[in-house]
Amino acid sequence: MSNEKEIDKIIHEPARLKIVLNLYMVERADFVFLMHKTGLSKGNLSSHLSKLEQAGYVKIDKTFEGKFPKTSVSLTEDGRSAFLSYRETISNLLKTERD
Amino acid sequence: MDALRKEIRTSEEFYNGVDGLMDIALGSAFLVATVSILTGIVLYTSWFYLFLILIIRYLRNRVTHPRIGCATYKATRENLQKGFVLSSVAGLVVLGLFLTLFLLSRNGLSDGARRALSTWLPVLVGAFIAAAVMTAGKIFLLKRFYAYGPLILVSFLLIPLVKLENTALISLICCGLAILITGLIVLFRFIRSYPVLEGGHE
C-alpha cells in the first residue's frame, strides 16, 4: 500500500471526487448542473467547492443573470492534472492489489 | 474508447437531448418551411426563424437550466465550429448543384429528362435536408436526429410515388408534426422527471 501516501486527499473525498469528475467532463458548469450531477445539497456543494477553490483546483465566477445570481465553475489546469494523476494512482493501486 | 471519454460522451448526449427542445425547433422549422413554401408565403414567415431561436433560448433558460443546470462541453463547442464551416461549404455546393440543374433544365435536357428531373427533384431536396438533419445529429450528439433523417427522406419520397391531390403538403406536414410531437413528449417527460432544484437559480 505504498501508493496510499500519493493519493490526493482533496480529491479522494467522495463528494469532491464527484464534483471534480463532473467538472472534468465539461469546460464550464453552473451550480445547478453540479447539484443535479452530484446529488449534493446547496450547502454541501458550496463547502466542497470552497475547499477545491482553496486548493486551486477550481475557479468560481459569480455573476448576475437578470435578477438571479449565477455561479459558474470550471476546473483549473492544476485541477485537471490533479484529477488525471489521482485517476492514474488509483488505477495503479487497484492493478497492484489484483496482481 | 477510453472509459472516461465514453462517460463524457454519454453525459454530453444526455445533456444535449434530454429536454427535446432541439426536436421542437426542428419540427417547427420544418412545418413552417413546408407550409410557407407550398403556399408561397415565404417572405411572411421568414421572421419566424428568428422568433424560434429566441423562444428556444428562453425555454432553455426557464425550463432546462433550473432543472439540470447549464454546462459547456468542449466537444459540442468544437463540433459547432466545425459544423458552421461544413454547413457553409455544403450550402455552396447545394446552391451550385441546383443552379446547374436549373440551367440544364432550361437548355441542355430532353423533354423526358426534364420531366424526370421535375418529378424526382423533391427527393433530391429531401435527401439534402435528411443529410443536413443527420449531420446536425452528429454535431450535437442527438441520437433521435438519426431517425428524423430517414423520416424526412421518406416524406419527400412519397411526393412522386403517391399520385394524390396535396400529397406533398400532407406528407411533409405529417413528418414535421411527428418530429414536433416527439419533441413535445420528450419535453413533457423531462419536466415530469426533473423537478426544479432547490436553489436552482444560484
Q: Which pLDDT value is given to residue B193?
A: 93
Residue A52 has pLDDT above 50, yes or no: yes
Q: Contacts of residue B8 in chain A, CB cutoff 8 Å?
A: 25
Q: Region A33-59: what's the mean pLDDT?
A: 93
Check residue B150 and give its pLDDT: 94
Question: B177 CB near a chain A CB, below 8 Å?
Answer: no
The answer to whether the Cβ–Cβ distance between A36 and B70 falls below 8 Å is no
Query: When comparing pLDDT for B105 and A17, which is higher?
Result: A17
B73: contact with A, CB 8 A cutoff: yes
> Is any Cβ of chain B less than 8 angstroms from the Cβ of A9?
no
pLDDT at residue B1 is higher than 90: no
The ipTM (two decimal places) reads 0.78
Average pLDDT over residues A61-84: 88
Does A93 score more than 80 pLDDT? yes
Residue A88 has pLDDT above 60, yes or no: yes
Q: In the predicted model, what is the mean pLDDT of chain B?
A: 85
pLDDT of residue B153: 92
pLDDT for the residue numbered A5: 55
- Taking all residues of chain A, what is their mean pLDDT, rounded to a whole number? 88
Return the amino acid letter for A81: S
B14 or B87: which leads in pLDDT: B14
Q: Is B195 on the interface with A (CB under 8 A)?
A: no
Residues of A in contact with B66 (CB under 8 A): 32
- For the cut 60, the answer to whether the pLDDT of residue A3 exceeds it is no
pTM: 0.81
Residue of A25, A38, A49 to mutate, interface with B, max B Cβ within 10 Å: A25
Residue to substitute from B11, B12, B60, B201, interface A, most A β-carbons within 10 A: B201
B96-137 pLDDT, tens digit each: 887 887 777 777 777 777 777 777 888 888 898 999 899 889
Give Dmax over CA atoms of chain B in angstroms.
69
Q: What is the pLDDT of residue B59?
A: 93
Interface of B with A in 42-61 (CB under 8 A): 61
Cell reading at B174: 405529417
pLDDT at B199: 62
- Whether A84 has its CB under 8 Å from any CB of chain B: the answer is no
As a residue count, chain B comes to 202
pLDDT band at residue B148 under the 50/70/90 scheme: very high
* List of chain A residues whose C-beta atoms are within 8 Å of the C-beta of residue B14: none
Asked if A40 is an interface residue toward chain B (Cβ–Cβ < 8 A), one would say no
- Within 8 A by CB and 6+ apart from B97, the residues are none
Q: At what angle do helices B74-106 and B3-17 cross, to 10 degrees?
A: 60
Contact B86, B79 (CB under 8 A): no
> In terms of C-beta density within 10 A (0-12 exposed, 13-18 middle, 19 or more buried), how is residue B88 classed?
exposed
User: Residue B146: pLDDT band by 50, 70, 90 thresholds?
Assistant: very high
Residue A1: predicted pLDDT: 47
Q: What is the mean pLDDT of residues B45-53?
A: 85
Q: Does residue A60 sit in helix, strand or coil?
A: strand
**CB-based contact B155:B10 (threshold 8 Å):** no
B154 against B165, higher pLDDT: B154
Task: Please state which of the ranges A6-10, B32-36, B103-107 shows the lowest mean pLDDT.
Answer: B103-107
Minimal CA separation from B88 to chain A, in Å: 26
The pLDDT assigned to B202 comes to: 46
